[in-house]
Amino acid sequence: MSTISATSIVFLTPFLRSFHQALDRFISSLKIASFYAVAALYYTSPAAFLGVLLPFFTPWRSKIRVCLGVIFLMGTLKGWFVWMGTHGGLGPYGLLVEGAFLWMFYRHARTSSQKLLWGMLASLLGFFLMKHTFSGIQPVLSLPPLAIKPQSTAYCLCFMPEGVVVSLSILYLCLFERASWPIWQQSLFVGGSTSLVLAGALLAPALWFQVVAFAPGVPTYFPLWLFKNVLWTSLSEEVFYRLFLQTFLTQTLMRYHLSWGWALVLTSAIFGLAHLPHHGYAAMACVASLAYGWAYHRTRRLEASIIAHAVFNILHVLLFTYPFAKPS
């Protein structure tokens, strides 16, 4: 009898293991689907940005807890944009495109086979989403073009939702451990020093060629600009271009015995393309991306590249015309 039982256990073990793996994949997919469905309902809220930041500061190991925390924050502060009377959003078409990106990234992150294919597809679709290419996706808040300093060219402060949802999707699947104070010190030092070097390397020549003008001062609607630039633009761009794209390209190129520097250059070229059609702005973005990518590679922490990105933009807007100087 014991022999029959032992034989049955040996025979059933592979099937039980396969069933457990299939069940685990189903539950993981269900968690992500429910997270995305709820997040899509609440993304028109500044709490979405707090949700993006949450994994940096939480010691939780469980992704579902972070998911619930994000949903709680988004739901708690949802009424802010409603109170302001904005009605933009993804819409059914935008939700479909964002869902396609989420699925591609999920397949890339969770499958051992075809990682290159899914990574390339997610990179391509994510690039066009971050560039706001798809029609039918409306800004949740958009201010009319305005020169934020007397000598500046007109600048449109526009809150598009795609980057936030892309960032939430990536961070949800790449949960961070809470950074210790020494790690934050390193990120602050590397990110801050990188932004200062970059300011000298980019803004000094731009001042010489009169692309920008020296105009120290606090610009119009600076608090709103700061909120949008740090928690929307800098964070979402660094999550996509550094945490996902540069990491994916580094891992892919290393298989062909190419160094991480090639991934940095390629990521920066793509980052520059995302800032077309203004060629001067695209060139500056490409050079800036090299610095942000170096900070990320140097520390292996996304915080460093976000700090470098945000501080450089803050120096630009406080000390010079933003984004450019009016033609003389």
The DSSP secondary structure of 151-167, one letter per residue, reads: TBPPB--EE-SHHHHHH
Decide which of 75 and 127 is more confident: 127
Going by pLDDT thresholds of 50, 70 and 90, the confidence category of residue 299 is: very high
Nearest CA to 327 among 274, 282, 280, 285?
Answer: 280
Going by pLDDT thresholds of 50, 70 and 90, the confidence category of residue 103 is: confident
What per-residue confidence (pLDDT) applies to 211?
Answer: 87
Going by pLDDT thresholds of 50, 70 and 90, the confidence category of residue 176 is: low
Proportion of the chain above pLDDT 70, given as a percent: 61
Decide which of 19 and 218 is more confident: 218
Decide which of 9 and 202 is more confident: 202
pTM score, two decimals?
0.75
Is 81's pLDDT higher than 50? no
Close Cβ partners of 235 (under 8 Å, ≥ 6 residues apart): 49, 52, 53, 167, 306, 310
Nearest CA to 296 among 259, 245, 233?
Answer: 245
Decide which of 175 and 268 is more confident: 268
Region of poorest pLDDT, from 59-68, 103-112, 230-239, 307-316: 59-68
Going by pLDDT thresholds of 50, 70 and 90, the confidence category of residue 72 is: very low
Average pLDDT, the chain: 76
CA distance 233 to 97: 20
End-to-end Cα distance, the chain: 96
With contact defined as beta carbons under 8 Å apart, do 240 and 163 qualify?
yes
